């Protein structure tokens, strides 16, 4: 009998991204328990080269070539996963949309609802209350209830979610795609037209502002930290996992050979060590245990994150220029 929840990710068709997808699928097959045989779908935005995806097929990954969802928003390609209804098995009740920078370290099935849209509250609250009021007023929605807590701080924040793991029931996939896409385009237009709505460094979270609104329209619920457990920060006791994590979100904390760097928080380390031991054995590597990245690498990562925020800000500025220019041309 197939698992009631299928898993899927979206990626670019490059060796680096395909390797991430392979590692993700391998971890599900290795650590997934009752979910290990679940359907796994990978959507690639571009021509699929068989030489790259051959290892995925060996892991029973169904590969799809899909068009980009929006040329301005590469991270929106994950919405293509909500178009796979005809490709899902008859017994599948929901799809879990997974980012590529995660690995499975346990069976997530018992912690993922198949009948509700669900995602984990974000690691940090990105906005001050005044900024939330400005953004939500511009979107035409009320500020969501402040009844979830940020993973890193344990402080209450509006119902704002991380998009790394999002569960969508089969019967709501079309409406969730329409809602998330509509809000995403709305948020991008707002940020392009008015750079003062949110701080520049916080514009990069456009997809999650949109997810927040889509979740509200679908009466979404919060997932526990165990199924989207960050390795790059220390978790507050109020949000720390109550049991061993089933999904680790490593972001950039992985060595080039596919082994996880030592998680910042001790609650994630046993799961990370178990993944490393199994991956090292599978790849014929010496098991190094868990080591943190050197200080130099951590500084470089911090600088890269700042640059990423700057690039996001500039992209919205360029978009605003093109949009305003087009509007001016129409008026003329």
- Does the structure show a pLDDT above 90 at 97? yes
Looking at per-residue pLDDT, the higher value among 116 and 77 belongs to 116
- Per-residue pLDDT, averaged over 184-206, amounts to 90
Residues facing residue 9 across a β-bridge: 42
Give the integer Cα–Cα distance in Å for 99 and 233: 18
Give the integer Cα–Cα distance in Å for 99 and 161: 14
State the CB neighbour count (10 A cutoff) for residue 284.
6
Q: Which residues contact 234 (CB under 8 A, 6 or more apart)?
A: 152, 264, 265
Q: Output DSSP code: residue 159.
A: S
Give the integer Cα–Cα distance in Å for 13 and 147: 39
Give the integer Cα–Cα distance in Å for 199 and 122: 18
- Does the structure show a pLDDT above 80 at 217? yes
What band does 314 get if pLDDT is binned at 50, 70 and 90?
Answer: low
Give the integer Cα–Cα distance in Å for 262 and 281: 18
Residues facing residue 66 across a β-bridge: 45
On whether the CB atoms of residues 106 and 256 are closer than 8 A, the answer is no
Q: Which pLDDT belongs to residue 294?
A: 72
Residue environment code for 58-88, b if the CB has 16+ CB neighbours within 10 A, otherwise e: ebebbbbebeebeebbebbbbbbbbebeeeb
Q: Which pLDDT belongs to residue 317?
A: 47
Q: What is the largest CA-CA distance in the chain?
A: 67
| Lowest mean pLDDT, pick from 51-65, 72-86, 109-123, 223-237 | 72-86
Task: With residue 319 as reference, give the H or E element that holds it.
Answer: helix 295-331
pLDDT tens, position by position, 136-182: 999 999 999 999 999 999 999 999 999 999 999 999 999 999 999 99
pLDDT tens, position by position, 279-290: 999 999 987 789
- Per-residue pLDDT, averaged over 245-266, amounts to 95
How does the average pLDDT of the chain come out, rounded? Answer: 88
Domain coordinates in residue numbering, the chain: 115-219+294-332
Cα atoms in the Cβ-side hemisphere of radius 13 Å centred on 103: 28
According to DSSP, the β-strands at 118-121 and 102-104 are unpaired
What band does 248 get if pLDDT is binned at 50, 70 and 90?
Answer: very high
Would you tell me the crossing angle of helices 129-139 and 206-217 to the nearest 10 degrees? 70
Q: Which pLDDT belongs to residue 129?
A: 93
On whether the CB atoms of residues 96 and 165 are closer than 8 A, the answer is yes
Residue environment code for 16-45, b if the CB has 16+ CB neighbours within 10 A, otherwise e: ebbebbbbbbbbbbbbbeebeebbbbbbbb
Q: Which pLDDT belongs to residue 230?
A: 98
Report the percent of the chain where pLDDT is more than 90: 74
* Phi (first) and psi of residue 102, to 5 degrees: -135, 165
Q: Output DSSP code: residue 186.
A: H
Q: Which pLDDT belongs to residue 292?
A: 82
Q: Output DSSP code: residue 10.
A: E
| Lowest mean pLDDT, pick from 119-128, 302-311, 322-331 | 322-331
What is the pTM assigned to this prediction? 0.87
Q: Which pLDDT belongs to residue 71?
A: 67
Q: Which pLDDT belongs to residue 76?
A: 83
């Amino acid at each position: 009998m197939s698992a009631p929840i299928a898993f899927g990710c979206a990626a670019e068709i490059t060796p680096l991204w395909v390797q991430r997808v392979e590692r993700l699928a391998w971890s599900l097959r290795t650590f997934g328990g009752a979910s290990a045989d679940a359907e796994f779908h990978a959507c690639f935005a571009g021509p699929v080269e068989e030489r790259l995806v051959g290892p995925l097929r060996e892991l029973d990954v169904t590969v799809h070539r899909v068009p980009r969802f929006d040329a301005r928003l590469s991270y929106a390609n994950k919405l293509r996963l909500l178009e796979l209804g005809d490709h899902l098995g008859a017994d599948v009740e929901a799809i879990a949309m997974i980012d590529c920078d995660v690995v499975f370290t346990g069976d997530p099935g018992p912690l993922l609802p198949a009948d509700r849209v669900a995602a984990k509250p974000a690691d940090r609250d990105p906005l001050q209350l005044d900024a939330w009021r400005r953004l939500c007023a511009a979107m035409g929605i009320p500020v969501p209830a402040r009844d979830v807590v940020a993973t890193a701080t344990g402080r209450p924040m509006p119902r704002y979610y991380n998009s790394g793991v999002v569960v969508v029931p089969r019967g709501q996939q079309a409406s969730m795609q329409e809602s998330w896409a509509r809000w995403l385009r709305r948020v991008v237009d707002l940020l392009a037209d008015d750079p003062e709505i949110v701080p520049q460094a916080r514009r990069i979270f456009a997809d999650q502002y949109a997810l927040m609104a889509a979740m509200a329209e679908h009466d979404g619920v919060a997932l526990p930290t165990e199924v989207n457990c960050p390795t790059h920060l220390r978790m507050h006791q109020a949000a720390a996992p109550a049991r061993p994590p089933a999904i680790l979100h490593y972001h950039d904390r992985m060595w080039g050979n596919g082994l996880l760097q030592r998680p910042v928080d001790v609650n994630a380390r046993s799961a990370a060590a178990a993944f490393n031991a199994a991956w090292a054995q599978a790849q014929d590597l010496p098991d190094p245990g868990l080591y943190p990245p050197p200080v130099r690498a951590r500084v470089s990562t911090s600088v890269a994150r700042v640059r990423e925020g700057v690039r996001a800000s500039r992209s919205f500025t360029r978009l605003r220029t093109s949009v305003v220019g087009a509007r001016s041309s129409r008026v003329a």
